[in-house]
Amino acid sequence: MKFSSKVKKCALSPMRKFHPYAVAAKEAGKRIYHLNIGQPDIETPPQYFEAVRNFQLPVLAYAESPGMPVLIKAIQKYYGNLGMHFAEGDILITTGGSEALQIVFNCILDDGDEVIIPEPFYPNYNTMVNTCGAVIHPVCTSPEDGYHYASRAKIEAAINERTRAIVCTNPGNPTGNVLTPEEMRMMVDIAKEHGLFIIGDEAYREFVYAGEPLQSLGEFEDAAENVVVIDTVSKRFSACGARIGCIISRNRELMGEAIKYCQARLSVATLDQVASAALYDVGPEYFAAVREEYKRRRDTVVAKLKDIPGVICECPRGAFYIMAALPVDSADEFQKWLLTDFDDNGDTVMFAPGESFYATPGMGVNEIRIAYVLKQKDLERAMDLLALGIEAYNKR
């Protein structure tokens, strides 16, 4: 049987590739501290479950293809509170932020086109772009410079006649970078000047730790034709299983094309839309408490990493990830070894090896992404295991 060349270019998720080794380790009696997947342990607001329990319609029918008005209005109100005003037609509800990105890429990319994405980046971008027949043109960064990419010279050097869009993950996954207002303005200006889309993947907007106001590319109304915002309830409300996201853009031509894909998949789950709309009723005190919790966790991980000889990392300003370079020859081999050959009193640790977060061959070989989504005591133990593991691995 013949398979698509596009799917053959795609790889399995680096966050899940070691699952068979993890299963074997657990069967051998080991406890694994999971830092490899960004699944928050923060409780989902009860408004979500209350809305599910109170759902009384006699038929669970298809929702409207663009999304249910109750959810669209909730999203409009959320952005309105941030000083951004979107019409109902500027918002399309999707099955998570991932589908939102895939639909946008499907609308703007042809075979041979390029998307500029700073690396390291969320590895599923590879699959989304590859299945459109396009490629990622990476903007290289390094742990030594704090993974900084917001440089006009760096971005413009990556633009060519095949470039269609720039993607900004802000706050960043996996680096935790947060763009300043001036950097956001510069990135938008570059997109405008070169006639490109600029796609803001803003799943982690609420998770910023320096007291700065929440930001979005949607603020730049003068770039209405260029800006596309990708959003989701997954991380903001610790509701990853709800699978509710959205595309936001004032570019009516783009939205007119995107609705074709929304209609092709009929609709997003009705009950999840109703319940997710209720999430937007939570007050600012919820976000303040969650931010404070993640800030404590971040500070714990950074302090522990700084105590490990040879580790290079910067304190992330947002999201709930940290990228770090380890003093090992291969993060992939190190992770496998941690699961197969290492334990401390029956405990070991998992992270996401960094190579798959890069498009440039040879980059990220000794880097890892840590998702600090465990409780503080568990994070402390996980970091101690990492330190012990590095020492033992390098003594083999």
Q: What pLDDT was estimated at residue 10? A: 87
Going by their DSSP bridges, the two strands 312-313 and 321-325 should be labelled as antiparallel
pLDDT beneath 70, residues of the chain: 14-15
Cβ–Cβ under 8 Å, residues 245 and 97 = yes
3-state secondary structure string across the chain: CCCCHHHHCCCCCCCCCCHHHHHHHHHCCCEEEECCCCCCCCCCCHHHHHHHHCCCCCCCCCCCCCCCHHHHHHHHHHHHHCCCCCCHHHEEEECHHHHHHHHHHHHHCCCCCEEEEECCCCCHHHHHHHCCCCEEEEECCCHHHCCCCCCHHHHHHCCCCCEEEEEEECCCCCCCCCCCHHHHHHHHHHHHHHCCEEEEECCCCCCECCCCCCCCHHHCHHHCCCEEEEEECCCCCCCHHHCCEEEECCCHHHHHHHHHHHHHCCCCCHHHHHHHHHHCCCCHHHHHHHHHHHHHHHHHHHHHHHCCCCCEECCCCECCEEEEECCCCCHHHHHHHHHHCCCECCEEEECEECHHHCCCCCCCCCEEEEECCCCHHHHHHHHHHHHHHHHHHHCC
How many Å apart are CA 316 and CA 145, to the nearest integer? Answer: 12
Cβ–Cβ under 8 Å, residues 100 and 246 = yes
Query: What single-letter amino acid sits at 153?
Result: A
Q: What pLDDT was estimated at residue 9? A: 87
| pTM across the whole model | 0.96
**pLDDT tens readout for residues 59-103:** 999 999 999 999 999 999 999 999 999 999 999 999 999 999 999
CATH 3.40.50.300 fits 46-279, yes or no: no
Q: Which tokens in the block code for residue 351?
A: 């992270």
Q: What pLDDT was estimated at residue 15? A: 65
Q: What pLDDT was estimated at residue 14? A: 66
Q: Which tokens in the block code for residue 248?
A: 């936001």
Name the residue among 294, 218, 268, 320 with its Cα closest to residue 103.
268
Length of the chain: 396
Q: Which tokens in the block code for residue 297?
A: 């966790």
| Alpha-carbon torsion angle 58, 60, 64, 69, nearest 10 | 60
Domain ranges for the chain:
5-43+285-394, 46-279
Q: In angstroms, what CA-CA distances link 337 with 145, 160, 323, 343?
A: 29, 42, 20, 10
How many Å apart are CA 6 and CA 130, to the nearest integer? Answer: 6
Q: Which CATH class is domain 5-43+285-394?
A: alpha beta
Query: How large is the greatest C-alpha to C-alpha distance in the chain, in angstroms?
Result: 65
How many Å apart are CA 206 and CA 203, to the nearest integer? Answer: 8
How many Å apart are CA 144 and CA 310, to the nearest integer? Answer: 12
